[in-house]
């Protein structure tokens, strides 16, 4: 935002960095509201369906039987985790 405070217009700043004017506006708003230009941290998304240990089961299955089908791997994993 130093480019903006140095007297550049929003259009000039956007052109200088190859971004849209709306992106520069959003950055200015972020700076004003939060006091930083840093993005929010990643919020994670949905929880994994399998535990960390269970996630390794399909890999182990395919190492033992490389030609296994998706259905057979899925069936084996379901049997092992209950």
Digit-coded pLDDT (tens) for 36-76: 999 888 888 898 888 888 899 899 989 999 999 999 999 98
What integer pLDDT is reported at residue 7 of this predicted model?
Answer: 65
What integer pLDDT is reported at residue 77 of this predicted model?
Answer: 87
| Digit-coded pLDDT (tens) for 2-33 | 555 556 789 999 999 999 999 999 999 999 99
CA nearest 58: which of 41, 73, 75, 43?
73
What integer pLDDT is reported at residue 66 of this predicted model?
Answer: 93
End-to-end CA, the chain:
55
Q: Quick one: how far is CA 73 from the chain centroid? A: 28
């Amino acid at each position: 935002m130093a480019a903006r405070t140095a007297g550049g217009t929003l259009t000039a700043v956007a052109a200088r960095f190859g971004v849209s004017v709306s992106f520069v506006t959003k950055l200015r708003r972020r700076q004003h509201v939060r006091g930083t230009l840093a993005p929010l941290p990643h919020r994670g998304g949905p929880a994994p369906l399998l535990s960390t240990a269970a996630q390794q089961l399909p890999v182990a299955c395919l190492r033992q039987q490389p030609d296994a089908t998706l259905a057979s791997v899925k069936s084996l994993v379901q049997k092992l985790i209950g």
